[in-house]
Structure 1
Amino acid sequence: MRNRIDEEITFRKLEVLLAYMETGNLGRAAEALELSTVSVHRALHSLEQGLRCTLFRHEGRNLNPTDAARVLADTARDVIAAMTDGIRATREAAGYSSNRLRIGSMYSLTTRAVPSVLVDLKVRRPALEVELVLGSNATLLERLKRGELDAVLMAIPDPDPEIESVALFDDDIFFAAPAGSKYARMQEVDLRDCRDERFVSLADGFATSDNFDHAFRIAGFTPDISMRTGDIFSLMNLVSGGVGCTLLPGRVRGAFGDKVEFIRLKSEYVMRQTIGLSFRRARERDPNLLALLAVCRLSSLLGS
């Protein structure tokens, strides 16, 4: 049978001990904990009774900590920190979180959708601290599964028993070329006519990169890719600079003004990305995630 801890030793009393050890004064410790000086003194005396040893020596009105008090304080810091983490983990497992929310997003959603969502979320939950992390679909999904992110705005992933995904809007994929190119006058582009064209692409792991590869499998040839990059805005810079053409989602249309032309693909290449909010099923009752989901659904900019 495990040793039982005396009922006089509580987390609250350990917090009182730490406050006194840090301030060295009963009055300041009481002020920090919003207690009376008498309550602080009683808590320290109660700890001595529970431990059955002396923690402080009385010298006039002062309480001077012994080596035993210092050992207990070191242990108390570790115990309280561990319990704090345990409470947070327990609340997360039960579907409730703290005042911090870590949101992941694809780069392409930062043009309009994500700023709108973050502003509306702050209005709805002003005390919430939000951390925004950008990355590819693959990276965001991996970090979500590891618990490093609370929710992600991205192309909806393949079905997964651990992940809940809520569709928000669909987005068409377009052929993108530099302004003034021969494609600008076309109503639609047949990729089979682009065998001699130079292309640029996103690196593996991005939803748009998957669309790019799928389209050229349909076209029946491997495109000449002169460069790959790690975010969609660098990709658009390469297109506008004439380095090559690519495929892009409609949501970034206009991000570079009139420097990049968006032309529809021929019907056999038509593709859509379904953008949604994904989070772990264990967190589906988390009030912060419910607030985020409500904001995403109401945002008029998400589907624009």
Structure 2
Amino acid sequence: MRNRIDEEITFRKLEILLAFMESGSLSRAAERLGISVVSVHRALHSLETGTRCSLFRLEGRNLQPNDAAHALADVAREVLEAMAQGIRVTREIAGYAADRIRIGSLYSLTSVTVPALIMGLRLRRPDVQTELVLGSNCELLRKLREGALDATVMGMPEDAADVESQPLFEDEIFFAAPADSRYAGMDEVDLSAFADERFVSLNEGYVTHDRFVDAFRVAGFDPNVVMRTNDIFSLMNLVGGGIGCTLLPGRIRGVLPRNVCLVPLQKKYRMPHRICVVFLRTRERDPNLLSLLAACRSHADSLKG
């Protein structure tokens, strides 16, 4: 059976003990805490009652802590820090805001979408600090479930009953080739005619990779992928450098290198997908998330206009 702690020992009294130990006098501790000297003295004496041992000695008119008091203060500091952390985590789980929000994002959404959402969030909650974490769809969803992220901007996950999503916009993929290639002038691309072409691709886990695989499944062949990367900006540069062609989402059009062009695919290959802000259902009452979702709706409305 766990040892019971005497009711005379409370968090508040431990705070008073630390204030006294750190300030060195009853009066300074009282001033720091905004209470009377008598209240400080009474709390310290109560801790002696609760621990059933002497914690202080009188030297003239001054109260001096002994070794036992120093030992209790060391433990009190750890206990109070642990409890403060526990309360913070408890409030977050219960849906009450922290002073920061951790947002995940796909690399391809960092040029326009994520900055717009962060600015919208700052307008609504200027005191909240934002931390941005980049990764693949798979990585972001895992980190969200592990509690390492509060929300993430990504392709809508499939078969994820534990999350909620706020749609932002719908995107589709395009054929990406060097701007000086013979493909640049095409009105649309039939992938089934590109079995002999070299391709570059993102690694598994990215929504763009999934659409790449889906499109070539419709085309009826496995593409000759000569190089893979984890970064969509590197992928664009590989295309521009003539390493191979690829499929890219339309959302990167604004940051596309001049030596890369996007050509529409035939309708059967276009693979539309929805970009959303995703968060755990257990966090749906968090004020930070509610403000982020309001920023999402505002951004989505601006795209429609």
Instruction: Tell me whether the two structures share a fold, i.e. TM-score over 0.5.
Output: yes
Given that 1:175 and 1:262 are in contact with CA atoms closer than 8 Å, whether structure 2 keeps it comes out as: yes
Cα distance in 2, alignment partners of residues 86 and 132 from structure 1:
24
Whether the 8 Å contact between 1:112 and 1:302 is mirrored in structure 2 is: no
SS at match of 1:184: coil
Distance 1:79 1:172, change over 3 A: same
Aligned with 1:68: secondary structure? helix
In the other structure, the counterpart of 1:5 is: 5
Report the CA distance shift for 1:35/1:229 in structure 2 as closer, same or farther (over 3 A): farther
User: What is the CA distance between 1:300 and its match in structure 2?
Assistant: 5.4
Code of the aligned partner of 1:290: L
TM-score under structure 2 length normalisation: 0.93
User: Is 1:40 aligned to residue 55 of structure 2?
Assistant: no
* Cα deviation code 1:176-211 (max 9, x no counterpart): 111121111001011111112111110111000011
Whole-angstrom CA distance in 2 between matches of 1:301 and 1:117: 12
More displaced stretch, 294-303 vs 137-146: 294-303
Distance 1:96 1:73 in 2: 31
Superposition RMSD on alpha carbons, in Å?
Answer: 2.0
Work out the number of aligned pairs and report it.
Answer: 304
Partner amino acid, structure 2, of 1:140: L
Q: 1:53 to 1:302 in 2, by over 3 A?
A: farther
1:121 alignment counterpart: 121
CA contact (8 A) 2:99 2:127 kept: yes
Q: Is the 8 A contact 1:239 1:246 kept in 2?
A: yes
Shift, 1:87, TM fit: 1.4
- Does residue 274 in structure 1 map to residue 282 in structure 2? no
Q: Which runs of 5+ in 1 are unaligned?
A: none
Report if the CA contact (8 A) 2:171-2:273 is conserved. Answer: yes
Question: Which residue identity does 1:221 align to in structure 2?
Answer: F
The alignment's TM-score, normalised by the length of structure 1, stands at 0.93
Equivalent residue runs for 1:17-28 within 5 Å: 17-28=17-28
Find the counterpart in structure 1 of residue 168 from structure 2.
168
| 193 and 64 in structure 1: CA distance in 2 versus 1, 3 angstrom threshold | same
Contact 2:200/2:227, CA 8 A, preserved across alignment = yes
CA contact (8 A) 1:167 1:277 kept: yes
Q: Shift in Å at residue 134 of structure 1?
A: 0.4
Q: Which residue of 1 aligns with 2:133?
A: 133
Aligned-partner Cα distance in 2 for 1:67–1:169: 64
What's the offset of the Cα at 1:297? 1.1
Q: Do the aligned partners of 1:175 and 1:189 also contact (CA within 8 Å) in 2?
A: yes
Could you tell me how far apart the structure 1 residues matched to 2:156 and 2:123 are?
Answer: 27
**Contact 1:116 1:301 (C-alpha < 8 Å) held by counterparts:** no
- Residues 284 and 290, structure 1, Cα contact 8 Å, conserved in 2: yes
Code of the aligned partner of 2:59: E
More moved, 180-189 vs 163-172:
163-172
Aligned 8 A contact 2:176 2:248 in 1:
yes
What is the percentage of aligned positions where both structures have the same residue? Answer: 61
- How far the C-alpha of 1:3 sits from its partner, in A, is 4.7
For the residues of structure 1 that align with 2:229 and 2:28, how far apart are their CA atoms? Answer: 57
Post-superposition offset of 1:37 = 4.1
* C-alpha deviation, 1:28, in angstroms: 4.2
**Structure 2 CA distance for partners of 1:219 and 1:69, relative to 1, 3 Å:** same
Structure 2 CA distance, aligned partners of 1:32 and 1:108? 51
Q: Give me the whole-angstrom Cα distance separating, in 1, the residues matched to 2:249 and 2:7.
A: 63
CA distance in 2, matches of 1:280, 1:36: 46
1:216 maps to what in 2? 216
The separation in 1 between residues aligned to 2:224 and 2:80, in whole angstroms, is 59
Instruction: Could you tell me which runs of 5 or more consecutive residues in structure 2 were left unpaired when the two chains were aligned.
Output: none
Residue in 1 aligned with 2:263? Answer: 263
Distance change >3 Å, CA 197–CA 127, structure 1 → 2:
same
8 Å CA contact 1:151, 1:279 repeated in 2: yes
